[in-house]
Structure 1
């Protein structure tokens, strides 16, 4: 049962909890966008009432409530999951394939945007600036996006470590400490190696930012910050990871852009100056013997 249905059928609630439930059901999008104090002010209930309702729903907090609302809204209003997992058919023309993939990308971007917590993105970008070292842990296809992020940061003279082999990831985690910011990319926390990496990082008091799906992920218990990926796509039953790649690229590009904004003029000048030096060297005609 999705959360909207669960709210409609919830029994043994107080009058104030019923007021809150009715407000959520009437305008769930506004509830998702608001903070607890704003919700309390708009519905004329207390903040403790919000948390009592959360406890009755068996949820872990306000963010968990909002994520489940988001999932419920998607299941009722969006294109079926099958269209994300199997967006093309054998009879599609090239133009139809182009349009279907465009729909997948558009839906993924919109969902990632709706899931984003802007304060978390700002806080993580500030941590990136403060950290002496930035380490990104990823596996399989996500490694390509981690390396792309590494390249972007290298362009502005910020070194990012992306260990790839399982042993090197564990070694990197073992050497991490509070000066390291560890960004862990794991859609569902299914790989045993990432669990070990996160345990080591936690033991070393290295702050962890987890980029994950809205589905249950055992790695969330280690993370100080969580950034959520669009989670339409089935982990196995699909043609390709069209949606997962798009949501991860969007998130990493956003982190890079917010970081860049923190020192915009300095970093822009640094990047342009560096590429001007490279260009001059490449185009300068070397003297002949």
Structure 2
């Protein structure tokens, strides 16, 4: 498992260990440069806290921790130079803008893949394939991606519910039960509407698949499964959500493809047959 995800999901941490974990997640590259005492000073913890956290990660020392972090980070020169929050400058030509965005997209896909847990993807696929009803809960611009996922699934005969308004989301959650599976899209858990819906889903024992960032998310405790988006962007101070959008699209496309692959021949036939029926109706 990606060491940053492992740190993110560690349970039963002391307050100081949590402070250290949060610092490493927010500053993985700086962590690589620090000696133990320097890391302790930067994170406002003791050196002993560092070694306790390392033990909980099942590692043998600071050196191994750095190796694991380094392997989890994007390593190309282009990715280090690009600013994910401000990838375009006033002086950039249109072609330079396109080139910069291309670097962000490549880095985003690499990070999304790095964050993925292969075994978790298998479990998520099985959960969705066996679900009687799939509901997708999202807010703001993420609703458009949820609607696109619904369209993809409808093309292979699987109906997906995407409630949009606050009341409808809460009503959908209230109608949900253990036979439903809820996909919740939330970068940081800040939407009050999603907070209410997730609480209801949890009370109704509905399995929740949370698509979230590597940052802290209060909804994570309610999720049976988690998929992590690329998390390099600042949530507020940026030109646009270039990386987050690309990462979310990649994850939803992956989920769709996993489900498609489960009954590959059947889905190919279903899709092509339906398109033929629709085209035959054209005058």
Contact 1:153 1:256 in 2 (8 A): yes
Q: Please list the CA deviations of residues 169-225 of structure 1 after superposition, one character each: whole Å capped at 9, or x if unmatched.
A: 000000000000000000000111111111100000000000000000000010000
**Structure 1: how far apart are the matches of 2:124 and 2:250?**
15
Q: Secondary structure at the match of 1:220?
A: helix
**Structure 2: how far apart are the matches of 1:7 and 1:146?**
44
Shift of residue 26 of structure 1? 5.9
Residue 205 of structure 1 corresponds to 205
Contact 1:7 1:21 in 2 (8 A): no
Q: 1:111 to 1:78 in 2, by over 3 A?
A: farther
TM-score norm. by structure 1 comes to 0.77
1:21 aligns with 2:58: no
**Structure 1: how far apart are the matches of 2:163 and 2:269?**
29
Residue 186 of structure 1 corresponds to 186
Residue 226 of structure 2 corresponds to 226
Contact 2:184 2:210 in 1 (8 A): yes
Residue 174 of structure 1 corresponds to 174
**Structure 1: how far apart are the matches of 2:164 and 2:174?**
15
Residue 196 of structure 1 corresponds to 196
Residue ranges of structure 1 left out of the alignment (5+ in a row): 33-69
Equivalent residues, number: 242
Q: Secondary structure at the match of 1:260?
A: helix
Residue ranges of structure 2 left out of the alignment (5+ in a row): 1-22, 38-46
TM-score norm. by structure 2 comes to 0.79
Shift of residue 78 of structure 1? 7.6
RMSD of aligned residue pairs (Cα, Å): 2.6
- State the 4+ residue runs in structure 1 displaced beyond 6 angstroms: 75-78
Which has the greater radius of gyration? 1
**Structure 1: how far apart are the matches of 2:104 and 2:266?**
37
**Structure 2: how far apart are the matches of 1:157 and 1:112?**
28
Contact 2:82 2:103 in 1 (8 A): no
Q: Secondary structure at the match of 1:210?
A: strand
Contact 1:210 1:225 in 2 (8 A): yes
